[in-house]
């Protein structure tokens, strides 16, 4: 039915209200939430659209990947693609960290440069955190 009314996105928990003969279907995409209320007796649907903004889109993308209710979530292709991207990024960072620690222990001549780069990285990270806090 969602395809018929051209609503795409990640379907949340469908709520069935038997005494009112209704289904409430929340559909979200990063930055937008649509609630489709289906009246089963009248065979009609009402649509409520709410734009949530960029920050909420980032929260949605942050919460989406992972093992949380995989059988229910990840039913929209762009979110599946995002999940693969997020997982690949995490594995890449893990790989770079492990190889960096290995090279740190093996290449003694580069430790001074490594310390300077770590200090520069910490300084830039703290600068970003300070800028975001103010």
* 71 inside domain: no
**Residues ≥6 apart with Cβ < 8 Å to 87:** 65
* Total structural domains within the chain: 2
Q: Report the distance separating Cα 119 and Cα 113, nearest Å.
A: 10
Residues 47 and 99 in one domain: no
Q: What is the pTM of this model?
A: 0.57
pLDDT digits (tens, 9 = 90+) for 9-23: 888 888 999 999 999
- Give the pLDDT of residue 67: 52
The answer to whether 27 and 11 are in contact (CB under 8 A) is: yes
Contacts of 74 (CB under 8 A, 6+ apart): 10, 64, 80, 83
Residue where one domain finishes, among candidates 63, 94, 113: 63
Which residue would you say has higher pLDDT here, 77 or 75?
A: 77
> Which range of residues forms the domain containing residue 103?
80-134
Does the pLDDT value for residue 54 go beyond 80? yes
47 and 12 within one domain = yes
At 86, give phi and psi (nearest 5°).
-65, -45
Average pLDDT over the chain reads: 82
Provide mean pLDDT across the span 92-98: 85
């Amino acid at each position: 039915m969602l395809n018929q009314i051209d609503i795409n996105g990640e379907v949340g928990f469908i709520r069935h209200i038997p005494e009112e003969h209704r289904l409430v279907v929340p559909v979200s995409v990063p930055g937008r939430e649509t609630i489709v209320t289906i009246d089963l007796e009248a065979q009609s649907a009402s649509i409520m659209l709410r734009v949530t903004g960029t920050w909420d889109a980032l929260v949605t993308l942050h919460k989406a990947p992972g093992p949380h209710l995989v059988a229910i979530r990840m039913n929209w292709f762009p979110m599946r693609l995002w999940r693969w991207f997020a997982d690949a990024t995490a594995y890449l960072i893990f790989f770079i960290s492990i190889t960096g620690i290995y090279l740190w222990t093996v290449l003694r001549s580069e430790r001074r440069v490594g310390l300077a780069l770590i200090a520069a990285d910490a300084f830039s990270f703290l600068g970003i955190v300070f800028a975001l806090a103010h």
